[in-house]
Structure formats: C-alpha cells, structure tokens
Amino acid sequence: MPVIKGLQKTTLVDFPGKIAATIFTAGCNFRCVFCHNTLLVKNNQADGLPVIDEGELLEYLRGRTRQLEGICISGGEPTLHADLPEFIRKIKDIGYAVKLDTNGTNPEMLERLLRENLLDYAAMDIKGPLELYPQIVNTEVDTAKISRSIDLLRQSSIPYEFRTTVLPAFLDEKEFAGMTGMLNGAECYYLQQFHAGEHLLNPDYSQAGAYTSGQLNLFARQFEPFVKKVAVRGA
C-alpha cells in the first residue's frame, strides 16, 4: 500500500458533499514554499511520524461506515505510489466514495484511476502559470504532464476542481490573466487564501503577507467567462 503517515478521522470540508476521513500519503516531488505538510513532503524516516499499518487502517474504516461516506486521499503526492490503484480498490470495496488530491505530475496514474472508475471526485492543485512552476515548486517540472492532467479531468465524467493557493510573491493580476486559457472550460476553480505560519516548508515565508478577500475576488472574476464555477476559499 502507499506509505501512509496521517489520518484525519473526520472532515466536513475535504470532500464536497460528504462526511469523510482524509488519508495522508508520504513523499512529494514538489517543494512548494507555502506547503504546511513539511513532514509528509520530506518523508524523513526520523520525522517522528509512524507509518500507519494498512490492515489496521482498513479495519478502522470498516468500523466507520455508519459515520463516514467518503475517503479523501491526500499527501504529499498520492500518485507517486505505484500501488495506489490497489489501495483505492480496497477502500471502495468497503463501500466508500474516494476523492484524490493531486498536483497533476503523473497523468498516467490519473488516467488509470479514471479509466478503472476508482475516483468519485478529484482536486488538482494549479500552482500558477506553467512557466512559473519551477520557481514556485523549487524543482524542474514537465509542464506537458500538468497540461495533460488538466485535460484528463476536463474530459472526465466525475466531479472535479482545480485550485490555486495565492501567495502574493508569485501571483498577481497579470499571472492570473495568463492562466485563464489553461482552465478554459473547467467545471470548478478555487482561489485559496495563503496562510503564513511557522511550519511552512520555506521559513522565509512564515510571516509573508496575503491578499485581502476583495483582491482575491477581483482575481477570481477574471475566470468567470472561462470557468463554470469560480470562488474564493479561506479569505
């Protein structure tokens, strides 16, 4: 099974329309400066986060079918784990709907999950304009794969959303104007407020400022002619 190092036993916000639990996989191929899941991303064996046993986790989920409707699989980046499809299948066999959170760097895995009807909802992070990806995520990126994942979700039959965490150091009105074509025809796009904090992956941004809710809503309006639903979260 994927390396799992976190479980949020109940969430009302991670899986739209469902009472859910969130499973956090370890490891990520990005190093986004605003990431709050530092221990999961680095996946250091000495990080103090024990690996959650698959059998124990599945047994727990079997006992929660009267309280929960869905399972959100987040990270880290879940699609890095080759056995993700088999793990999701076990969860669905219990009777849960499954939501995937992904950064879109593994369209091959995403396509397989969609083809095998293993996903009921998907959320893909859009870091910014494709040309800014290496700067925002601090690593080289095959942006063709990002574009492919966007297309896969736009063409899929499941509910999905795209979302962007808005850090002023990287994104302003000009950058958002350049992103409208990327998301043209999408069902749903959220601009998420950046929240500073001492546990960010890059401590240089631990006290960085954020846009006001009014500014975020102005950015969001640029997408209204292109996206069916656009909204601001967390502001």
* DSSP character string of 127-188: -SSGGGHHHHHTS---HHHHHHHHHHHHTSSS-EEEEEEE-TTT--HHHHHTTTTTTTT-SE
**Is 205 among the domain residues?**
no
**Is 81 among the domain residues?**
yes
Helix (H) / strand (E) containing 92: helix 84-94
**Which value, in Å, is the radius of gyration of the alpha carbons in the chain?**
17
State pTM to two decimals. 0.94
Residue 171 CB neighbours (<10 A): 22
The pLDDT assigned to 46 comes to 46
Question: Is residue 213 classed as helix, strand or coil in its secondary structure?
Answer: helix
**Is 207 among the domain residues?**
no
The pLDDT assigned to 68 comes to 98
**Is 229 among the domain residues?**
no
The pLDDT assigned to 111 comes to 98
CATH of the domain at 56: 3.20.20.70
State the pairing for strand pair 4-11/20-25. antiparallel
**Is 181 among the domain residues?**
no
The pLDDT assigned to 33 comes to 81
Residue 178's alpha-carbon distances to 125, 144, 166, 210, 222, in angstroms, are 16, 17, 15, 20, 10
Quick: pLDDT tens for 139-179: 999 999 999 999 999 999 999 999 999 999 999 999 999 99
Number of domains in the chain: 1
**Is 20 among the domain residues?**
yes
* CA separation for the pair 177, 156 (Å, rounded): 25
83: containing domain: 4-165
Residues of the chain with pLDDT under 50: 46
